[in-house]
Amino acid sequence: MWFWMVALILAGCQNATVGTGGSSCSGIGSCLNAGTGAGAGTGSVIGTGGAESPFYLTVKSYWENDSGKAFPTPHEVKLISKDGSGVLANTGTEADLSSAVCQIDADTLITDSAEKRVITCGVSIPETQLFFSALDLQINVGKDAECDVVYYWPYGYQAGTDATFTSRWQTTALDCTASPTPIACYSGPWIDISGFPDYTGNYRQIYDKTKSHSEIFSVPSANTKLRQDNRWTSYRPLGDVRDWQWECAQKGSSLNFGITLRIIPKKDDPFNSGGPRWMGWLDDNGNDRGLAGQ
């Protein structure tokens, strides 16, 4: 679990920011939405024993021209098969996805081992669809889940570290050695957080634990952000990278449940290797095939 500190508490629903060694985020959505159901997700909410999962994640994508989000594409979010460590490999595409749904089992207690309470998951999305689609990542908290607070950190990385960094999303070179570091030296949805790079995560407080709660975190497409490839949302094997992460805890206690997510581009080059090479199609080992270095 990353070190975090509370940076700000707002009135009402206490939508607030958290810091992680000088980084954090605010203003993503509102309070976790309380309801009588388990949230409108696309994954199973049934754990072993037929009860509601205390913590699970679902993912949908929407093509850019679907501005009203009327035609979602649900994607299966699966557990990463563990090799004994449960650590995700340092690659953009390779991950051994199991057949198990990405959820904490319903019979998991906060006194159980970390291997049961904290899981690593992956979702595989076709290259083209990922590049031209917005994403909705929905975290769901079951009723009586022993979650007073839910923390969220979006994915991101530092794209440039030198004094003459150039990118497709900037018209001029930037000095990424300057202090503070210009925001355009970074990439990934964490840059859309209010106060970035001082803030890179946020938290929500849950008041009524007798009901299920859910919240959708929406992410714009790589194309609309003028990125050169799917590294905007999917893992970049180089540099200082942070995966998507959700955690929940009781007041005054340590981590109860956690989900780490890796978005994995699935090779589907529709241009037969003759399309816009700056899109950076990935080969089967996660290497950029085009001209995309960012």
Separation CA 52–CA 146 (nearest Å): 13
Q: Are 52 and 106 in contact (CB under 8 A)?
A: yes
Q: What is the per-residue pLDDT for 1?
A: 32
Q: What is the per-residue pLDDT for 24?
A: 30
pLDDT at 261 over 90: yes
% of the chain at pLDDT higher than 90: 37
Rounded to the nearest 5°, which phi and psi values hold at 194? -60, 125
Pick the closest to residue 73 from 128, 140, 133 (CA basis).
133
Q: What is the per-residue pLDDT for 281?
A: 56
CA 127 and chain centroid, separation: 17
Q: What is the per-residue pLDDT for 280?
A: 54
Instruction: Summarize pLDDT for 181-212 with one digit per residue, the tens.
Output: 999 999 999 999 888 888 888 888 898 999 99
Of 275 and 159, which is predicted with more confidence? 159
Q: What is the per-residue pLDDT for 244?
A: 94
Of 89 and 114, which is predicted with more confidence? 114
Report the mean per-residue pLDDT for the chain.
76
Q: What is the per-residue pLDDT for 71?
A: 97
Averaged over 209-236, what is the pLDDT? 89
Q: Are 149 and 251 in contact (CB under 8 A)?
A: yes
Of 279 and 267, which is predicted with more confidence? 267
Q: What is the per-residue pLDDT for 276?
A: 55
Pick the closest to residue 117 from 245, 3, 209, 255 (CA basis).
255
pLDDT band (50, 70, 90) for residue 94: low
Q: What is the per-residue pLDDT for 126?
A: 85
Instruction: Summarize pLDDT for 26-64 with one digit per residue, the tens.
Output: 333 334 554 333 333 333 344 444 578 999 999 999 999
Largest CA distance in the chain: 58
Separation CA 165–CA 159 (nearest Å): 9
Of the candidate ranges 12-16, 186-190, 255-259, the one whose mean pLDDT is the lowest: 12-16
Q: What is the per-residue pLDDT for 249?
A: 92
Does this model's pTM top 0.85? My answer is no
Name beta bridge partners: 213.
34, 141
Q: What is the per-residue pLDDT for 289?
A: 55
pLDDT band (50, 70, 90) for residue 236: confident
Give the helix ranges, DSSP H, for the chain.
114-117, 127-131
Rounded to the nearest 5°, which phi and psi values hold at 184? -70, -5
CA 232 and chain centroid, separation: 11
* Residue 240: how many other CB atoms lie within 10 Å: 10
